[in-house]
Amino acid sequence: MQTMHSSSISRSPSMADNHQPHFLFITYPVQSHINPSLHLAKHLATTTGAAVTFSTSISAHRRMFSSTPNSDKDFNDGLITYLPFSDGLESHIRGTMDAKEYLSVFRTNSKRNVSILVNELFAGGRPVTCMVHTFLLNWVADIAGEYGIPSVLFWIQAATVFATYYHFFHGFESLIKAHSDEPSFSVCLPGLQQLQIRDLPSFLMATDSDSHYATILDSFRELFEILDREQERVKPRVLINTFQEWETDALASVSTEIETIPVGHLPKEYTNSGAGYLFKEDEKKYMEWLDTKEEESVVYISFGSLSVMKKEQIEEIVQGLKESKRPYLWVVRKDNREKELIEIEEEEGEDVNGMMVEWCSQVRVLAHKAVGCFVTHCGWNSTLESLACGVPMVCVPQWSDQGTNAKLVESLWGCGVRSEVDAGGVVKGEELVKCFELIMGNGEKGVEIRTKAKMWKDKAMDAGIEGGSSDLNLKAFVDKSCGRV
């Protein structure tokens, strides 16, 4: 593509008149941001006919398309164009920087290069009509404003978490900070169920201004300041990766100030797509292994793409699995292997009761009839996927929004339990066995949990099909973005 200086083109919404709607997704380069953004991008392209360009950093783009020639170049899969931008960090080791330095360098370089990218798309006859971005990318709104292009935040966490942050920055910061060291202290936020301090996003407890938590909280503060400024002109719109039927009250709790648009979905192609993975899928035939197991008999364990388990936690999970004697599929990334896990792998040939993999297609696993329980860190992607597949959860939250999600699973939706932990935050083996028996056993509570899990799955499927709430919300958003209404 030809590069043009930003001052050489007209910055006006009218520059895209008479062109097909073109949505440019700018996504932070980690798996938990890429997954929901790419699913939304595909759904938007297939259901509305809009042109979609998906962009993340070159380093993440390379990993997404590592099996293709010239993996750092543009790529089109017949539906979406993938166009990476440089964050200037491709040859550097992120681990040498603290969070503040990393986000500062990332912002400076990415903002400049995404602006160039927008120019190149215009020069190539593909002007952008709307920019969609995840959080930690507040500067995208600046670029969109420069060019007179509408932009919208895609909130990739629960609506309850969005509302919690909103209320924190609008009147509840002092109260929450005053009790940040009291895990059981209850907080009543407008329109939300009662939450304890331990249920709130962990970044809200930041006390050291130089800490990683404080840096992330500052980014969220800036994000909500941007929304506040936008509110002076027009009611801000925020796309949220949830279902109307799941979080009706949370969505309504900020609806006076912000137009929250729930667009969660689980189309059929979602369960079969590996596009967007930053990790290489394990070559073990885990799906074939699941085929040999009885319905709802397997415990699936995964703590996501970022969490690193303590050695003590690994030992306790090993012990719990041995005691429970239930078949299991356990995802442990290569960077989180301990001696105990290596020994398990060496025994796998004889121990047909379990399988350990480095990475897998999680939705395909959760959708398999053999899976009866998901031991999860409760990242929102995992929580949403488990809910949408009707799989009950054992919640082991660690940081960020995970405590809030665990609260929703146990108290609002009733389709799982939050495990108890020791003083070091470790779930003991006997506690895991207790949770397995509660969820997968024949007791009244287990039956109730499994029944509710299936109910929320049905609600998600109804919302995502053509004519469902998420489908209609997304189409209305596109129409409004294009000035059709």
The catalytic site residues sit at 33
| CB-based contacts of 78, cutoff 8 Å, min separation 6 | none
Dist CA 347 CA 354 (whole Å): 10
Dist CA 230 CA 224 (whole Å): 10
Using the structure block, give the residue that is written with the tokens 């793409």: 305
Q: Do residues 216 and 208 lie in contact, with contact meaning Cβ atoms separated by under 8 Å?
A: no
Concatenated DSSP letters for 407-472?
HIIIIIS-SEEEPP--TTSPPPHHHHHHHHHHHHSSSHHHHHHHHHHHHHHHHHHHHHSTTSHHHH
Amino acid at 249: D
Q: What is the dihedral of CA 95, 101, 102, 105, to 10 degrees?
A: -140
Q: Do residues 470 and 243 lie in contact, with contact meaning Cβ atoms separated by under 8 Å?
A: yes
Q: Provide φ and ψ at 188, rounded to 5°.
A: -110, 105
Q: In what order do the strands lie in the sheet with 81-82?
A: 75-76, 81-82, 51-55, 22-26, 130-133, 151-155, 237-240, 259-262
Handedness of CA 100, 105, 108, 112 (dihedral sign): negative
Distances from the Cα of 51 to the Cα of 85, 127, 141, 151, 249, angstroms? 19, 10, 20, 16, 33
Q: What is the dihedral of CA 6, 10, 11, 15, to 10 degrees?
A: -120
